[in-house]
């Protein structure tokens, strides 16, 4: 029957959610996407906190989102939370983790560990099942079948291949058929959503951009900031002009700065650590209150943050001084006061909590705008939950006065809804740019040509008595290279080392260099493996053609057995 609808799961560092649209809805209005409204306390939002409460057995998800926060607070209030697992903002453990594997463990709020794959898959399954309930209420006939749905899972564009594979396998463990699953890059999804916003909804909407227009997508989320540069193609598609880049400069850095600030004014004596251990329910309330209010912080207005009475009392008990006296002797005494249970910060002090991530973002955008193919980009589109912070918007505008800065009214769900659009039309991103060079560790018979190309290669005599060059790299694609969806790179032919070899296997290497020559220039990210049928047939003369396929959001390898004609497309195994 084909895909009847596309559903996305935006698994964020601080907030997560799901959205969907039916095929016929997309054909009428691509920008019309349904997203769930989540409720918690007095909050209504289109995404829920990325919080998971897992039963003491470590295998069953009790609650997710606002419900997980509230239930864990109740357990902590009754001192019953010790055996439960409470995970919050755990997605960042995948960022730039070079030793990520299937058994990697992560710590919960109290330091207890569970395998990361269990935590991620339980959360993805919850979001998937929750979406299915709503999808089926929209149908008047039979329930929709799993094969009728294309699922899209979002990841930061700056993540490495191992992290992408980890998320794919977590989704498959959550009973999402891998054949019906796409991995979407967050800034690309946001760009597609903005591209379909009507001009009356967003001033300066991307949908009004003429072919040839260049614009930068600044996707500022809770954990990472992802930045990419797109150009509108003549056929309406989007072309990536510069490789995706960014860093861990998201909104959680502001939360960390707030906690450090509270620790400093109380004398750096471990008050916040003790408070978290003894009053988890109040700690959850403290940070939830800050999460809501930090978006409105600006340098011209005072900001009031509520402190739980238990924290104020703990400060007095541990320091033997009231908080008022501690403030009076701190370096913030002229910019900070305590009024009852409210901590009042001068606007200048409150905005300083944003300094570290904002300075990193502005420095990175500045360097990007100096790149040759980006210099004539005069538009920045800000999306992501952190982009909703007024201070981040104003600082970006101040730093780049000659650039038009656009922030859609629903910047926080641009990735969530854009991923649905991507699922309906994966080819909308007509071109991507590789962040890294990709190659394979190779060995070649020693020749004069090999000596010229790899003068520093190791040389050894193999078991067959042939002198070979080792530890050299065959490059399949180069960093900065533009690639299109499904595009095959030039085929390279490899042969077995032994007559009775039963399997072809090769390590896949990456490097930020455009022309890495040796294994020492690279990092091994994974392997591909191809079984040799009729091992011994043609022996060492048997040829296997290997072509890498880039352009999509995941790397694939095409293997052709020249002796049998067998062809396979493989994904890299980056998790061991």
To which residue do tokens 């991103």 refer?
Answer: 429
- β-partners of residue 6 are 21, 150
CA distance 422 to 20: 11
What CATH number is attached to the domain comprising 454? 2.60.34.10
Give the per-residue pLDDT at 291. 86
- β-partners of residue 546 are 492, 559
Q: Are residues 440 and 336 in the same domain?
A: no
Q: Are residues 340 and 448 in the same domain?
A: no
Tally DSSP H helices, then E strands, for the chain.
15, 33
Q: Judge contact between 516 and 525, C-beta under 8 A.
A: no
Residue 236 within any structural domain of the chain? no
Q: Judge contact between 158 and 226, C-beta under 8 A.
A: yes
Domain boundary among 352, 381, 410: 352
Strand order in 467-477's β-sheet? 458-461, 467-477, 437-445, 503-511, 523-531
CA distance 325 to 566: 78
Q: Are residues 549 and 446 in the same domain?
A: yes
Q: Are residues 338 and 450 in the same domain?
A: no
Domain count, the chain: 2
- β-partners of residue 239 are 231, 431
Per-residue pLDDT of the chain (576 residues; tens, 9 = 90+): 468 899 999 999 999 999 999 999 999 999 899 999 998 776 778 899 999 999 999 999 999 999 999 999 899 888 899 899 999 989 888 876 667 889 999 999 889 999 999 999 999 999 999 999 999 887 766 678 878 899 999 999 989 899 999 999 999 999 999 999 999 999 999 999 988 876 544 555 677 788 899 999 999 999 999 999 999 988 888 999 999 999 999 999 999 999 999 999 988 788 898 998 888 889 888 998 898 888 889 888 999 999 999 999 999 998 899 999 999 999 999 999 999 899 999 999 999 999 999 999 999 999 999 999 999 999 999 999 999 999 999 999 999 999 999 998 888 999 999 999 999 999 899 999 999 999 988 777 777 677 667 677 777 766 667 777 777 888 999 999 999 887 888 898 888 878 888 888 888 999 999 989 888 889 999 898 988 887 767 778 888 999 999 878 888 999 999 988 899 998 888 987
Residue 312 within any structural domain of the chain? yes
Residue 213 within any structural domain of the chain? no
Q: Are residues 549 and 451 in the same domain?
A: yes
CA distance 558 to 574: 16
Give the per-residue pLDDT at 553. 87
Half-sphere exposure of 147 (CA within 13 A, CB side): 2
Give the per-residue pLDDT at 1. 44
Q: Judge contact between 305 and 343, C-beta under 8 A.
A: yes
Residue 68 within any structural domain of the chain? no
- SS3 call for 9: strand
Q: Are residues 449 and 334 in the same domain?
A: no
Domain boundary among 329, 352, 375: 352
Domain boundary among 352, 377, 405: 352
Contacts of 261 (CB under 8 A, 6+ apart): 353
- The pLDDT tens digits for 386-434 are 999 999 999 999 999 999 999 988 889 999 999 999 999 998 999 999 9
Q: Are residues 438 and 346 in the same domain?
A: no
**pTM of the predicted protein model:** 0.90
Residue 310 within any structural domain of the chain? yes
Q: Are residues 554 and 440 in the same domain?
A: yes
Q: Are residues 443 and 550 in the same domain?
A: yes
Give the per-residue pLDDT at 281. 85
Q: Are residues 449 and 549 in the same domain?
A: yes
Q: Are residues 454 and 345 in the same domain?
A: no
Residue 268 within any structural domain of the chain? yes
Query: Phi and psi of 280, rounded to 5°?
Result: -55, -35
Q: Are residues 557 and 453 in the same domain?
A: yes
Best CA proximity match to 240, nearest among 438, 429, 479, 421: 429
Residue 387 within any structural domain of the chain? no
Please provide the DSSP assignment of 330-361 as one string: STTTTTEEEETTEEEE-HHHHHHTTHHHHHHH
Instruction: Determine the structural domain holding residue 522 and report its residue range.
Output: 434-571
Best CA proximity match to 393, nearest among 532, 199, 248, 220: 220
Residue 361 within any structural domain of the chain? no
């Amino acid at each position: 029957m084909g895909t009847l609808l596309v559903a996305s799961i935006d698994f964020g560092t601080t907030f997560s959610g799901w959205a969907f649209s039916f095929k016929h809805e997309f054909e009428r209005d691509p920008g019309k996407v349904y997203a769930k409204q989540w409720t918690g306390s007095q909050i209504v939002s289109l995404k829920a906190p990325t919080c998971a409460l897992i039963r003491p057995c470590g295998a069953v998800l009790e609650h997710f989102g606002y419900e997980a926060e509230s239930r864990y607070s109740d357990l902590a209030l009754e001192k019953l939370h010790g055996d439960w697992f409470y995970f919050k903002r755990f997605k960042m453990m995948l960022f730039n983790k070079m030793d990520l594997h299937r058994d990697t463990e992560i710590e919960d709020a109290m330091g207890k560990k569970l395998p990361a794959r269990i935590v991620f898959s339980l959360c993805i399954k919850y979001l998937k099942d929750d979406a299915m309930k709503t999808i089926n209420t929209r149908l008047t006939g039979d329930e929709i079948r799993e094969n009728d749905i294309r699922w899209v899972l979002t990841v930061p564009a700056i993540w490495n291949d191992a992290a992408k594979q980890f998320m794919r396998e977590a989704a498959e463990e959550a009973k999402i058929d891998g054949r019906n699953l796409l991995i979407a890059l967050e800034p690309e999804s946001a760009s597609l959503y903005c591209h379909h916003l009507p001009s009356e909804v967003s001033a300066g909407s991307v949908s009004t951009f003429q072919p040839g227009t260049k614009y930068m997508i600044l996707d500022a989320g809770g954990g990472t900031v992802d930045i990419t540069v797109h150009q509108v193609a003549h056929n309406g598609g989007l072309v990536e002009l510069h490789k995706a880049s960014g860093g861990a400069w998201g909104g959680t850095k502001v939360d960390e700065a707030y906690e450090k600030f509270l620790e400093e004014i109380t004398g750096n004596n471990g008050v916040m650590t003790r408070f978290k251990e003894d009053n988890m329910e109040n700690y959850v309330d403290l940070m939830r209150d800050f999460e809501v209010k930090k978006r409105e912080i600006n340098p011209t207005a005072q900001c009031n943050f509520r402190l739980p009475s238990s924290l104020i009392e703990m400060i007095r008990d541990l320091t033997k001084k009231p908080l008022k006296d501690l403030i009076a002797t701190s370096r913030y005494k002229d910019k900070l006061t305590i009024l009852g249970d409210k901590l009042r910060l001068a606007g200048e002090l409150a905005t300083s909590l944003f300094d570290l991530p904002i300075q990193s973002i502005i420095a990175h955008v500045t360097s990007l705008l100096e790149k040759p193919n980006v210099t004539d980009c005069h538009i920045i589109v800000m999306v992501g939950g952190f982009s909703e912070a007024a201070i981040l918007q104003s600082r970006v505008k101040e730093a780049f006065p000659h650039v038009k800065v656009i922030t859609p009214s629903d910047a926080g769900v641009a990735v969530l809804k854009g991923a649905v659009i991507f699922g309906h039309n994966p080819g909308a991103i007509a071109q991507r740019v590789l962040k890294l060079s990709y190659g394979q560790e190779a060995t070649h018979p020693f020749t004069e040509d090999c000596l010229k190309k790899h003068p520093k290669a190791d040389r050894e005599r193999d078991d067959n008595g042939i002198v070979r060059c080792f530890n050299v790299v065959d490059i399949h694609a180069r960093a900065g290279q533009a690639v299109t969806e499904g595009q095959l790179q030039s085929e390279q032919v490899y042969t077995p080392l032994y007559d009775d070899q039963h399997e072809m296997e090769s390590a896949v290497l990456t490097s930020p260099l455009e022309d890495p020559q040796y294994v020492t220039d690279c990092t091994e990210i994974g392997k591909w493996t191809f079984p040799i049928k009729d091992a011994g047939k043609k022996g060492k003369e048997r040829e296997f053609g290997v072509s890498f396929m880039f352009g999509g959001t995941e790397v694939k390898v095409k293997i052709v057995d020249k002796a049998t004609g067998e062809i396979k497309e493989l994904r890299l195994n980056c998790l061991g």
